[in-house]
Amino acid sequence: MLVLVAPGQGAQTPGFLTPWLDLPGATDRVAAWSKAIDLDLLHYGTQADADAIRDTAVAQPLLVAAGILSAAALAGPDALVSLPNGDGFDTGSGTPAPAALPGVTADVVAGHSVGEITAAVFAGVLDPVAALRLVRVRGLAMAQAAAVTDTGMAALLGGDPEIVVPHLERLGLTPANVNGAGQIVAAGTAEELAALAQDKPEGVRRVVPLKVAGAFHTRHMAPAVDVLGEAALELAPADPAVAYVSNRDGRVVESGAEVLDRLVGQVANPVRWDLCMETFKERGVTALVEVCPGGTLTGLAKRALPGVPTLALKTPDDLDAARALIAEHAGQTA
């Protein structure tokens, strides 16, 4: 049983998109997406520095584009040339996408935070252009909300959640990402995070500041929920063509309308990746592939799902190994 996952904000690094543009059709595809959302994804994915791509309004569309691009490339060397914009996928007309993204062969899909939008494309809930337009609105709205107060996030490594979570709440922080595998991400104001650095919960080995520009998945993002909700009204989501696991509670969501509703609300609510991985386990996961820029979620899976083969798509050099893993494990559900 093959799970395909998409990473969230913070996974991006300068130039990470560069090797992917060597694939046939990739540059033209990304250029078209850039035009559709009025953001130069080619520049930000290849030439921009770490500070530029840390910007929420840039990072989120860039990550979704990279995830879609790398997943579609799994279909073969010429897959990006034939990746449809309109034939089978909605480009804004309101016609639901009828099937999973071409190239995606998975039994279960999920994404971490903004990666949920990428996963919605994998499942056929949204077409690539509609998803990129939605994430462009999301990134801008979250960046605007983050600008109101000096906020951020920090990963806590180690510790018992039953001890860590109450400790964070006493400091005024939110456990914004409960990632499993001994990792919780705290979010709040700069002052609250500074207090955490001086007062770690019992059992926590390290507190690592994250390269994000706000306290995502907390009350600080409430203004962005309304903006994203307005944008979502213009979309006509299709029901998932494969099992779609939600960050809210790890549940498999079968309605496209509910997926979209959860994507909107999740902006200001904690990510329960631990529960997503529990669902993978319950459904009998035998392999997990993480799309570009892969690494974060496979790292968590190695600790939380011991014995399950994992593969992170970092460059096109990883595609053949990913295809072999998918061919061996996809479609093995009962």
Q: Which residues are catalytic?
A: 113, 217
Q: Environment class of residue 31 by beta-carbon count within 10 Å: exposed (0-12), middle (13-18) or buried (19+)?
A: middle
* Gap between the Cα atoms of 115 and 84, Å rounded: 21
Note the residue count of the chain.
334
* Gap between the Cα atoms of 121 and 107, Å rounded: 14
Query: Which residues on adjacent β-strands are paired with residue 187?
Result: 153, 174
The token pair at 109 is 């899909």
Cβ-contact 291, 71 below 8 angstroms: yes
* Gap between the Cα atoms of 204 and 30, Å rounded: 41
**What letter represents residue 166's amino acid?**
P
> From residue 226, how far is each of 139, 189, 229 by CA, in Å?
13, 22, 5
Provide the sign of the torsion angle of the four alpha carbons 100, 277, 249, 271, taken in this order: negative
The DSSP output letter for 100 is: S
* Gap between the Cα atoms of 316 and 288, Å rounded: 17
* Gap between the Cα atoms of 168 and 162, Å rounded: 11
